Structure 1
Amino acid sequence: MTANPLRADPDQLDADRPPAVGPRAFTSRTEVAVAQAATLFEQLELEQAVALLQPALSADPAAREGWILLARIQLALDDAAAALDAADRAIQLDPGDPRPLALSSRALTVLRRHEEAVTLAYRAVIADPRNALWHDRVAWALLSADRQVADAEQAARTAIGLDPTEAHYYYTHGVTLDALGHLDQARQALLISLRMEPENPVAQHRLAMLNGEAERPAESKKRGWRLFGRKS
């Protein structure tokens, strides 16, 4: 979905992608614009999707789904500040929707505003505690903040418990276990992830580092983990 195939956050997951656009009756021009932008997003035509959404949202600023979609697209474009602004607009329209809370958390992580990122991630979990995506976001927010790694590992385990069929959650668990120094358990988690997604280059590289077959970046040597493809 994103322009960078090495992202390790849950926006890669099918559950967090914009819904496929099928035949339906639209009730407004805004709905048509959002549906068209979602299609462009799926096709990785990101700039065109933004160009379509922005005037529609200017004309209809109460279109919450449009703001959520815009936040996702801006994150894919690595414009965290714009993503945060769009997610915040959606939160203002519905403070109980966990999706913009998680998107805002991710943008704040990229912007290195880690305390706020952790708070928003937990708010998403409180709003929808049965969704594994939000627990996974808590894990990455805590890892990025470089604190409470044990809590990050617990959040990753919770995500697996809620959705044991998603390879990404085992990858996250492996990263948290690595950060805790539990290398054998981290290997096992990554091996499970790779059995489910054998061609995932991020998990392959992480496992190679654990096996001493690839050198850890300097930051990883100090902290024991790294967010691949992210400036966080």
Structure 2
Amino acid sequence: MTDVELKDSVAQRVGGLTTPTEIGVARAAALFERVDPAAAAQHLEPVLAADPEVAAGWILMARIRLVLDEVDKALDAANRAIALEPADPRSLAIASRALTLLGRHEEAVTMAYRAVIVEPKNALWHDRVAWALLAADRQYADAEQAARTAVGLEPDEAHYYFTHGVTLDALGHADQARQAFMISLRLEPENPVAQHRLAVLNGEAAKGPEKKKRGWKVFGRRGAEANGPARPEEFLP
């Protein structure tokens, strides 16, 4: 994003906003959209210090901290948002993701289910349940059910078929997992992680560690605060 595009993005976000806090959060979101999370955090910190009662700001900060691999700070920001707006599923899902990365799997699963309870028709939260359970290395049948629900809610999203394939593979259903990966790749042919998973399943590649990838979006790919690390579940260690 060029400087001109950044200014346009800020202008679009700020349009209609009135308070300094709203404008500050909008500007931080524009910086985050520019894939400059460090600058976004630096801009957002004094905004939240001056007005710590804005949940949207803490949700954005939590996403920024995840991208910066500052997981403890991400969890703290998510918890601040939850305290302000307990029924917002985004902060619950972000907290779940942070807890997974911290190895606190029971809490991660609980937070993910809380997000589903709040917004049961959002595939993202079912996907988070699936990955929380996979990371906990248990209840694979429940993980598969959650992944299948996500596919049913958004049948045109490649990532959910990928998740479903991973859960089916964990259950030992190789043929069904292969089909899920193939559908995922049909929808998103250039996804290297899905390509590798399918190759491993077909015996064409050795299973190895999968690296994290930055720059995609998660926890709602629509709306002003819909920025964050990209589908990090695909790259879960």
TM-score normalized with structure 2 length: 0.83
CA deviations 1:162-202 (Å, max 9, x no partner) are 11111100000000000001011101000000000000111
Change in 2 beyond 3 A, CA 1:228/1:135: closer
> Residue 185 of structure 1: SS of its match in structure 2?
helix
Alignment coverage as a number of residue pairs: 205
Does structure 1 residue 178 correspond to structure 2 residue 184? no
2:158 counterpart residue number: 167
Between the aligned partners of 2:70 and 2:197, the Cα distance in structure 1 is 26
> How large is the Cα RMSD of the aligned pairs?
1.7
Structure 1 CA distance, aligned partners of 2:12 and 2:95?
Answer: 24
Q: Structure 1 residue 228: deviation in Å?
A: 5.3
5 Å-filtered alignment, 1:87-106, equals 87-106=78-97
Which runs of structure 2 are paired with 1:58-207 in the superposition (5 Å)?
58-207=49-198
> Gapped runs of 5+ residues in structure 2?
1-10, 211-232
Q: In the aligned structure 1, how far is the partner of 2:134 from the partner of 2:12?
A: 35
Q: Which stretches of structure 1, 4 residues or longer, exceed 2 Å deviation after superposition?
A: 20-23, 227-231
The answer to whether the 8 Å contact 2:14/2:27 transfers is no
Deviation at 1:60, TM superposition (A): 0.4
Q: 3-state SS of the aligned residue for 1:155? A: helix
Displacement of 1:229: 3.5
Deviations 1:180-225 (A, max 9, x none): 0101110100000000000011111111111111111389xxxxxx
Q: Is the 8 A contact 2:89 2:115 kept in 1?
A: yes
Q: 1:23 to 1:149 in 2, by over 3 A?
A: same
Of residues 217, 231, 236, the one that matches 1:230 is 236
AA paired with 1:213? E
Say which structure, 1 or 2, has more relative contact order (CA 8 Å, 6+ apart). Answer: 1
Task: Give the distance between the partners of 2:62 and 2:88, measured in 1 at CA.
Answer: 14
Taking structure 1 as the reference length, what is the TM-score of the superposition? Answer: 0.85
CA drift at 1:22:
4.1
Q: How far apart in 1 are the matches of 2:203 and 2:92?
A: 38
In structure 1, runs of 5+ residues without a counterpart are 1-19, 220-226
The CA distance in 2 between the partners of 1:112 and 1:54, in whole Å, is: 27
Q: How far apart, CA to CA, are the structure 2 residues paired with 1:64 and 1:23?
A: 17
How far residue 46 of structure 1 moved from its aligned partner, in angstroms, is: 0.6
Corresponding position of 2:221? none
1:44 corresponding residue in structure 2: 35
- Aligned partners of 1:180 and 1:143: how far apart in 2? 11
SS of alignment partner, residue 166 of structure 2 = helix
CA contact (8 A) 2:14 2:26 kept: no
In structure 1, the residue corresponding to 2:87 is in which secondary structure?
coil
How far apart are the structure 2 equivalents of 1:216 and 1:129?
34
User: What code does the residue aligned with 2:236 have?
Assistant: R
